[in-house]
A and B are shown apart, each in its own frame.
Chain A
Amino acid sequence: MATVVLLAFVAGMLVTLSRQINGRLAAATSALTSSFWNHAVGLGVLVAYTLVAGRFWPEGAAAAPWYAWAGGIAGVVFVAGGSWVIHRLGAALTSGLLVAGQMLSGVMMDLIRGTEGSGPMRFAGVALILLGVWMSRRGGSRRE
């Protein structure tokens, strides 16, 4: 159990790491260029891994609906957007606001699809996130 906890934690850290690296590339090129390289290099790694341990056309691929193929298009904008924002807001606030956007839209989707879950907890969560986003506007002076 301790191992999977660590792995899940590391997976989160890798998200931040990749955003930081892409942000650095965007500083020298552009947000879209950094998104291109992020996807191309990631593709290279995944192709290599698939050659060793996977299949390039698994069963069921042909049956998948169209929107199962479209995630990568949103991914391009997602990485480019992250590279753009991280320069302006720093890694921590970028991370927080991206997660906020994800959760708020996720709850909207849950409501539309009627996903089961605790209503009051969900409502409290949305309220806290909105408050956090509202507070982020202030920036505030550095205290040390």
Chain B
Amino acid sequence: MTQRKRPAPAPEEGRAPRPVEICAALATGGLLTFMLFSNSTMAAYTTPLFSSLVAHGVGTVAAAVALVLIGALWRPGASSKGVRAPLWAYLGGVSGALTVMLTSMTANSPLALTGTLALGLVGQVVLALVFDRFGVMGLRRMPTRNDLMSLGLIVAGTLLIIFSRG
């Protein structure tokens, strides 16, 4: 029997996250601080639209270079995963580009950056809980009570920090 290669273990219900997964998530989130710093600097020199255009352009080139390098250095047969992605799975970038347009509108409204960040955080978490609960798009993880408490603490702490900046 040939074992089917899976990209990742199926999301189990309530499995305790491994420390490496938590650290990866925290480090990934930390990158956002640099991204915001970089992109908002560009937006201040030019416009939010141009800043996002540059970020996506540079990102496209950087990802292509990384893919070529990885492909040249290491051939794990990663393309033989066997599962084909539906066409819509390629459209994550549309949603990302729309986000930029919306937030640059709301950051210049009475909400300012603080309100934009706070409401965005809530919107993000609410939809994520709905996705997890109903297993949308092939990813499913039933939030446990512990997950919810952990999320609640993180959201509360984040809102405090956002509003501490005034």
Contact yes or no, A136 B150, CB < 8 A: yes
Interface residues of A (CB under 8 A from B): 1, 4-5, 7-30, 32-47, 49-50, 53-56, 58-61, 63-65, 67-82, 84-107, 109-110, 115-119, 121-122, 124-133, 135-143
Inter-chain contacts of B129 with A (CB < 8 A): 91-92
Given contacts A71-B54, A92-B129, 4 further A-B contacts (CB under 8 A): A87-B11, A101-B32, A116-B166, A140-B14
Contact yes or no, A135 B119, CB < 8 A: no
Digit string of B1-28 for contact with A (CB within 8 Å is 1, else 0)? 0000001110101111111011011111
Inter-chain contacts of A41 with B (CB < 8 A): 90-94, 97
Inter-chain contacts of B158 with A (CB < 8 A): 99-100, 103, 125, 129
Contact yes or no, B91 A78, CB < 8 A: no
Inter-chain contacts of B164 with A (CB < 8 A): 117-119, 121-122, 125
Inter-chain contacts of A67 with B (CB < 8 A): 37-38, 41
Knowing A125-B164, A135-B149 are in contact, say whether A98-B89 is a contact too (CB < 8 A).
Answer: no
Inter-chain contacts of A22 with B (CB < 8 A): 89, 92
Interface residues of B (CB under 8 A from A): 7-9, 11, 13-19, 21-22, 24-39, 41-42, 45-47, 49-64, 66-67, 70, 78-79, 81, 83-86, 88-103, 105-106, 109-111, 115-116, 119-129, 131-132, 136-147, 149-161, 163-166
Q: How many A-B residue pairs have CB under 8 A?
A: 480
Inter-chain contacts of B35 with A (CB < 8 A): 71, 74-75, 78
Nearest chain B CB to A21's CB is how many angstroms away? Answer: 4
Q: List 19 contacting pairs A-B, 8 Å CB cutoff, sorted by A.
A: A8-B120, A9-B120, A14-B102, A18-B93, A18-B94, A33-B67, A39-B59, A45-B97, A45-B98, A46-B53, A71-B54, A91-B132, A92-B125, A94-B25, A95-B128, A105-B33, A106-B161, A117-B165, A125-B160
Give chain B's interface secondary structure class.
helix
Knowing A11-B106, A137-B19, A140-B147 are in contact, say whether A37-B27 is a contact too (CB < 8 A).
Answer: no
Assembly CA distance A23 to B92 (angstroms): 9
Contact yes or no, B95 A21, CB < 8 A: yes
Contact yes or no, A68 B45, CB < 8 A: yes
> Closest A-chain residue to B143, C-beta based?
A92
Contact yes or no, A139 B102, CB < 8 A: no
Assembly CA distance A46 to B97 (angstroms): 7
Other-chain contact of B110, A4, A32, A69, A89 (Cβ < 8 Å): A4
Knowing A16-B131, A140-B14 are in contact, say whether A87-B56 is a contact too (CB < 8 A).
Answer: no
